[in-house]
Amino acid sequence: MTESFEAKGLREKLIESIRQKGITDEEVLRAMKKVPRHLFMDPAFLHHAYVDKAFPISSGQTISQPYTVAYQTSLLQVKRRDKVLEIGTGSGYQAAILAEMGVRVYTIERCRELYLKAQQIIATLGYNIHFFYGDGYEGKEQYGPYDGIIITAAAPEIPALLLKQLKTGGRLVVPLGKSDYQVMTVAIRTGEDSWEYSSHGTFVFVPMLRGTREK
């Protein structure tokens, strides 16, 4: 895939601004510098793609703010060949970042329109990502356990089924809360029935909903 020098230049400026905001995970920054965010948005919005803000996509959803993607991915602390479950494919951008980092990505989307569109975009980039249409609250136990689980929507509480799909030592990262903002929370599985929790700042996400829908 070829892209314009303009897009590459805008992306480099964006990554530098994220670095200046405190993101120090060089592997995350490298992946974000490589993945063309504008392909996950309408072609008319090239300049919007490289502003550090969330942006509306189809089906009432948003592509997350780049800083938020970097922050949440850094908290996951993944390594190459780790197996990660993503809840909420959305545009597919977060999954692409993880795939660029060498992660084995399994991603679930409840909206069929987004599920199909994300696969088309990822196919043009050549990443090997496993897509599923379904209810993220259920996870995908048959492909687990996972080294990491990343939830890209606001959950009122952490679904117990997802906690059980982590490996011992695995990390789940989720924006947690019912209010207008959520607390980024990390859950680390420490044993068969034990987890440690930590909080990492406030963010704003669309809500995590149950079930599936066509559009």
State the pairing for strand pair 129-133/104-109: parallel
Buried b (16+ CB within 10 A) or exposed e, 96-124: bbbbbbebbbbbbbbbeebbebbbebbee
Q: Strand (E) positions, the chain?
A: 55-56, 62-63, 83-87, 104-109, 129-133, 146-151, 166-176, 182-191, 194-203
Selected catalytic residue, list 17, 59, 64, 91: 64
Q: Does 194 participate in catalysis according to the annotation?
A: no
Q: Which residue is associated with the tokens 């406030």? A: 202
**186-191, Cβ contacts within 8 angstroms, sequence gap of 24 or more:** 186/75, 187/158, 187/163, 189/163
Catalytic annotation, residues: 64
